[in-house]
């Protein structure tokens, strides 16, 4: 396999060892390490390239030290927020969390697709619940350990019937809004039966309207974003974006994982699940461009899907993203991932002003 620049370096040897082990076991080990490191790691508030003012941006009233965030799903329960910022990420999205704590789907449920530089997961929102996440985040904040924006991504509990989804999201919103810099309504994971049906505009409006009413009644409204699937037909995606703009939503995260398998080069595990990483780049970027062209500045766009290096990041910015997120690129490129991408974006000849 050809290694692109962001994937070179000492991590390659370690990755070989890690990739020989079960993917979810490695994830648990990584989280244990990051959690332990979170108690002692520090961020250099000045002089760190990841905090260079040239990379900073303010959107929906929140200032981000740089535009590259950790995508939802890695640190679902907000266990290692200080570690992510020490690795250079400009923001962290924790979750998905649900109203009811839940174990997720049966194992095995996380797989690597190395020939495609991809992952396939059917985790099914394994998480400790929205209240536990809020407590964890609040503790990091009380300890003065949070120096980047932290978003909280909300999903529907598996036990909750689709008809009761609005109350389920409203509960989670109620307990997390005070500790979040932004909140995401995730209606796009392929691993909770029926969840993506909530992207139908009337269903989505039933969820968003109570949240916005709650938001309006708060002293200070928390920015609200919606995360969409790349598998939506273009017309349906445009309808979602227009609804969001109409309902005062602040932004769209484009996109979640895909159920598509077309074009994958290597073997793919049987069964359902969402594919992330390199194969997702083209569709998620095209969808981002389409939606940005349609709704323009009425929504802030977060570009996610297949970012492995600065060129990928730049392409998302050029397609209309103000912020970026990554998950799979970090798994393949290792701890230097965020710094490598940001160093490339920071390069004077091809700076973020080209966005
Ligand atoms: C193992 C795994 C778990 C994920 N869990 C969530 C999740 O809980 N909520 C969510 O909104 N997205 C989740 N995602 C999707 C990512 O946030 C992201 O949208 C997607 O992976 C595309 O980005 P990437 O190509 O950089 O990985 C998950 C992705 C992976 C690989």
For the Cβ of 186 lying below 6 angstroms from any atom of ligand 1, the answer is: yes
- Over residues 225-233, the mean pLDDT reads 96
Question: Rounded to whole angstroms, how far apart are CA atoms 186 and 321?
Answer: 18
For the ranges 57-61, 110-114, 227-231, 344-348, which has the lowest average pLDDT? Answer: 344-348
C-beta 280 within 6 A of ligand 1: yes
Assess whether pLDDT exceeds 70 at residue 352.
Answer: no
Of 251, 241, 355, 255, the C-alpha closest to 295 is 241
Please give the Cα distance from 47 to 51 (Å, whole number): 7
Catalytic residue positions? 189
Output the CA 10–ligand 1 centroid distance in Å.
25
Mean pLDDT of the chain: 93
Q: What is the pLDDT of residue 15?
A: 93
Residue 284 alpha carbon to ligand 1 centre in Å: 13
Mention every residue, 6+ apart, whose C-beta is less than 8 A from residue 246. Answer: none
3-state helix, strand, coil in the chain (%, to 5): 45, 15, 40
287 lines ligand 1 (CB under 6 A): no
Tokens of 124: 């099914």
Q: For ligand 1, is residue 150 a contact (CB within 6 Å)?
A: no
Using an 8 Å Cβ cutoff, are 207 and 166 in contact? yes
pLDDT at 4: 44
Residue with tokens 């036990």: 159
* Whole-number pLDDT of residue 69: 98
Mean pLDDT value of segment 104-110: 96
Cβ contact 285:28 at 8 Å: no
Is the distance from the beta carbon of residue 327 to the nearest atom of ligand 1 less than 6 Å?
A: yes
Confidence bin at 116 (pLDDT 50/70/90):
very high
**Residue 38 Cβ contacting ligand 1 at under 6 Å:** no
Distance, CA 234 to ligand 1 centroid (Å)?
21
pLDDT band (50, 70, 90) for residue 44: confident
226 lines ligand 1 (CB under 6 A): no
Q: Is the pLDDT of residue 242 over 70?
A: yes
DSSP state of 108: P
Residue 6: pLDDT over 50: no
2 has a pLDDT exceeding 70: no
Residue with tokens 């998620």: 284
Q: Which atom of ligand 1 is nearest to the CA of 27?
A: 1
Nearest CA to 23 out of 336, 337, 341, 327 is that of 327
pLDDT confidence of 350, banded at 50, 70, 90?
very low
Which residue's CA is the closest to the ligand 1 atom numbered 13? Answer: 73
Helix (DSSP H) and strand (DSSP E) numbers for the chain? 11, 13
In short, whether 256's Cβ falls inside 6 Å of ligand 1 is yes
27 Cα to the center of ligand 1, angstroms: 13
- Cα(303)–Cα(280) distance, rounded to whole angstroms? 12
Closest atom of ligand 1 relative to the 153 alpha carbon = 11
Q: Percent of the chain, pLDDT > 70?
A: 95
Quote the CA–CA distance of 334 and 350 in Å, as a whole number.
Answer: 24
pLDDT, mean of residues 90-111 = 97
User: Around Cβ 44, how many Cβ atoms within 10 Å?
Assistant: 10
Q: Give the DSSP H or E segment for 37.
A: helix 23-38
| Cα R_g (the chain), whole angstroms | 19
pLDDT band at 292 (very low <50, low <70, confident <90, very high): very high
Strand residue runs (E) in the chain: 57-59, 62-64, 68-70, 91-97, 110-113, 118-121, 150-154, 182-186, 224-228, 251-254, 274-277, 300-304, 323-326
**For ligand 1, mutation pick of 24, 198, 276, 284 (most atoms within 8 Å of CB):** 276
Model-level pTM? 0.95
Residue-wise pLDDT tens digits, 326-335: 999 999 999 9
Angle CA 216–218–224, to nearest 5: 60
Residue nearest atom 3 in ligand 1 by C-alpha distance? 73
Q: Pull the structure tokens for residue 324.
A: 């970026």
210 C-alpha to center of ligand 1: Å? 26
Where helices occur in 192-260 by DSSP H, the ranges are 201-217, 234-246
**What percentage of the chain exceeds 90 in pLDDT?**
85
pLDDT in tens, 155-193: 999 999 999 999 999 999 999 999 999 999 999 889 888
Measured CA to CA, the distance from residue 331 to residue 37 in angstroms comes to: 18
Closest approach atom of ligand 1 to CA 329: 26
d(CA 188, CA 258): 9
Note whether 256 and 280 are within 8 A (CB). no
**225 Cβ closer than 6 Å to some ligand 1 atom:** no
Domains (ranges, CATH) in the chain? 5-258+265-346 (3.20.20.70)
Kindly give the number of the ligand 1 atom that is closest to the alpha carbon of 186: 11
**Per-residue pLDDT reduced to its tens digit, 260-288:** 999 999 999 999 999 999 999 999 999 99
On the question of pLDDT at 1 being above 50, the answer is: no
Q: 349 C-alpha to center of ligand 1: Å?
A: 31
Strand partners, 64: 57
Distance CA 221, CA 53 (A): 26
Q: Which residue among 23, 227, 256 has the greatest number of ligand 1 atoms within 8 angstroms of its CB, and so is best to mutate?
A: 256
| Residue-level pLDDT at 10 | 80
Q: How confident is the model at residue 354 (pLDDT cuts 50, 70, 90)?
A: very low
CA proximity to 230, closest of 194, 271, 167, 283:
283
pLDDT at 43: 78
């Amino acid at each position: 396999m050809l290694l692109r620049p962001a994937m070179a370096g000492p991590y390659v040897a370690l990755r070989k060892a890690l990739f020989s082990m079960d993917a979810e076991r490695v994830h648990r080990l990584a989280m244990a390490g990051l959690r332990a490191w979170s108690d002692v790691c520090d961020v250099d508030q000045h002089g760190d390239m990841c905090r260079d003012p040239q990379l900073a941006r303010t959107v929906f009233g929140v200032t981000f030290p740089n535009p590259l965030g950790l995508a939802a799903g890695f640190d679902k329960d907000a266990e290692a927020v200080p570690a992510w910022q020490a690795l250079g990420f400009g923001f962290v999205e924790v979750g998905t969390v649900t109203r009811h704590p839940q174990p997720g789907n049966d194992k095995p449920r996380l797989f690597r697709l190395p020939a495609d530089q991809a992952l396939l997961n059917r985790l099914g929102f394994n998480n400790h619940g929205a209240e536990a996440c809020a407590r964890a985040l609040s503790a990091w904040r009380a300890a003065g350990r949070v120096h980047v924006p932290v978003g909280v991504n909300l999903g529907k509990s598996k036990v909750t019937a689709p008809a009761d989804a609005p109350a389920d999201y409203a509960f989670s919103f109620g307990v997390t809004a005070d500790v979040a810099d932004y909140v995401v309504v995730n209606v796009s994971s392929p691993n909770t039966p029926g969840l993506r049906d909530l992207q139908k505009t009337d269903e989505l409006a039933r969820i968003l309207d109570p949240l916005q009413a709650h938001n309006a009644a708060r002293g200070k409204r928390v920015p609200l974003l919606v995360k969409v699937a790349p598998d939506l037909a273009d017309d349906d995606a445009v309808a979602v974006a227009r609804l969001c703009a109409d309902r005062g939503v602040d932004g769209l995260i484009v996109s979640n994982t895909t159920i598509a398998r077309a074009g994958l080069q290597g073997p793919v595990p049987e069964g359902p699940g969402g594919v992330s990483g390199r194969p997702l780049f083209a569709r998620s970027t095209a969808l981002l461009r389409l939606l940005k062209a349609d709704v323009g500045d009425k929504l802030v766009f977060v570009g996610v899907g297949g970012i492995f290096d600065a060129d990928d990041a730049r392409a998302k910015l050029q397609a209309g993203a103000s912020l970026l997120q990554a998950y799979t690129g970090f798994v393949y490129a290792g701890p230097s991932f965020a710094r490598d991408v940001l160093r490339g974006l920071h390069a004077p000849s091809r700076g973020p002003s080209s966005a």
